[in-house]
A and B are shown apart, each in its own frame.
Chain A
Amino acid sequence: MNANDSTHAGMSSNLGMLCSEYNFQQLSELYNQGRVDYIVPMPMNAKRMSEYITAHDVSLTHSVVAIDKNDHQPNGMCMLGVRGERSWVTRLGVIPERRRRKSGEFLMNEALRLSGESGIRHVQLEVIRGNDPAQTLFEKLGFKVIRDLVVIRRPPTPLQAGQMSSHVRQYANIEDNQEILRLLNTRDDAPTWIEETASLINGGGMRVITLTLDSGEEGWIAFQRTPFQLTHLVFNPQASPQMIRTLLRLLHELYPLQDTKVENLPENHPALPHFYAMGYVNAFERIEMVLTL
């Protein structure tokens, strides 16, 4: 057991217990309890929790459960992804009936303390737009807003005649992980944590379609394919608008029955109008925030 009686949170009635002391089932249940009244509840079972931890380099020895000093029951949880000198706050939640004990602030202070002790200099997170109490807490701790993000989705819908791809000279599917990694390593965008190449490769199931247009322009789109869903879409750097449109059309021609979700696209991303033209709709919005320690 590794319990820390933190003094960082002032009047907090919490003790910190590392998440490494819990199994995936317990962590998923605790997370679900803390998010039950969240703006967009995204519950997880043990399998999804395990996959999430692996994909996003969540360190369970940097992640904390807040235990109430009085009844020794969990009040909430905060996880921390760690990559080099950067960490990422995620899965933060406090059980509704156990709020007003400064548990959120306690958990965040623990996350920052553990980050600092590990030599981490840059902490990042996303908060759903409209979650004002959380955003206020993050700002109080010194986090700054850096950009607005959208989460967009497209239901499985066959393409209409006008949406079918054209100008395609040739295309090919790539499933070789080394080649996919090579292409992803050419990215010049600044993705959020869950869209970084490390997350995509860790998550597995990545594929790439390479495409040559009639004009001779070459490009590619990477995506993760699960049994029912396409997600984590990435275009090649400097793709022209026609390349983006054609890649999207081709993707949905090849996978007409897949639900598609694209997370954390910056609001000014050049591909966004092309997504909307293909029938994507906004699901919700996030705000990315950072703190330098």
Chain B
Amino acid sequence: MSRIVIIEDNPDVARLAEKLLRNAGHIVIVAPDGETGLTTTFEQMPDLVLMDLGLPDIEGQTVVGLLKQQESTSHIPVIAFTAWPQETAYSMAQAYGCDGVIVKPIDTRLFAKQVAEFLEARNER
């Protein structure tokens, strides 16, 4: 069981991701915008952050940059969770130090497994 913060402004996407990860046995906290996401991540110190790159207040890349620059959070894997075209998504994720990308829309059969693989990679580091 891991603690996961989902930073996602689309409530339908957030609910689905939350449900799938809870069903897989994880503790899930949802933040609907960048500011809440930052606060929640600093408070919860999760095992993984799922990060929508398009947020309504602070841009997702900016949030990732902040998390990766802070000593207390730089070790937390941040997975870009985005509907952007793959080339843009991977380019931005790499530039900002994300630890991986999960492309939307969510594949309900694979989603929990995709997240589990990132968590395993974290544990092996």
Contacts and interface: CB of A to CB of B under 8 A. Distances in A.
Interface of A: 28, 32, 36-37, 39-45, 47-48, 130, 153, 155-156, 228-229, 257, 259, 261, 281-284
A291 to B, nearest CB: 28
Contact of A45 (B10, B33, B54, B69): B33
A42 B54 contact: yes
B56 A45 contact: yes
Given A41-B54, A43-B54, A283-B88, A155 B83 contact: no
Contact of B55 (A43, A155, A281, A282): A43
B24 to A, nearest CB: 26
B84 interface: yes
A212 to B, nearest CB: 31
A45 B56 CA distance: 5
A192 B96 CA distance: 27
Contact of B65 (A32, A37, A43, A155): A155
Contacts of A43: 9, 54-56
A156 B59 CA distance: 13
A156 B69 contact: yes
Given A40-B84, A281-B95, A259 B56 contact: no
Given A155-B95, A155-B96, A156-B68, 6 more contacts: A43-B9, A48-B56, A155-B65, A228-B62, A257-B69, A259-B61
Contacts of A48: 56-57
Main secondary structure on B side of the interface with A? loop
29 contacts: A39-B85, A40-B54, A40-B84, A41-B54, A41-B84, A42-B54, A43-B54, A45-B33, A45-B56, A45-B57, A48-B56, A48-B57, A130-B85, A153-B61, A155-B61, A155-B64, A155-B96, A156-B66, A228-B58, A228-B62, A228-B65, A228-B66, A259-B59, A259-B65, A281-B92, A281-B95, A283-B88, A283-B91, A284-B88
Nearest to B95: A281
B97 interface: yes
Contacts of A42: 54
B86 to A, nearest CB: 12
Contacts of B58: 228
Interface residues of B, number: 25
Contacts of A47: 57
Interface of B: 9-10, 33, 54-59, 61-62, 64-66, 68-69, 83-85, 88, 91-92, 95-97
Contacts of A261: 59
Most chain B C-beta atoms within 10 Å of own C-beta, residue among A28, A40, A155: A155
A210 B8 CA distance: 40
B52 to A, nearest CB: 9
A185 B88 CA distance: 35
Given A155-B61, A156-B66, A281 B54 contact: no
A42 B59 CA distance: 8
B84 A39 contact: yes
A37 B83 contact: yes
A205 B56 CA distance: 20
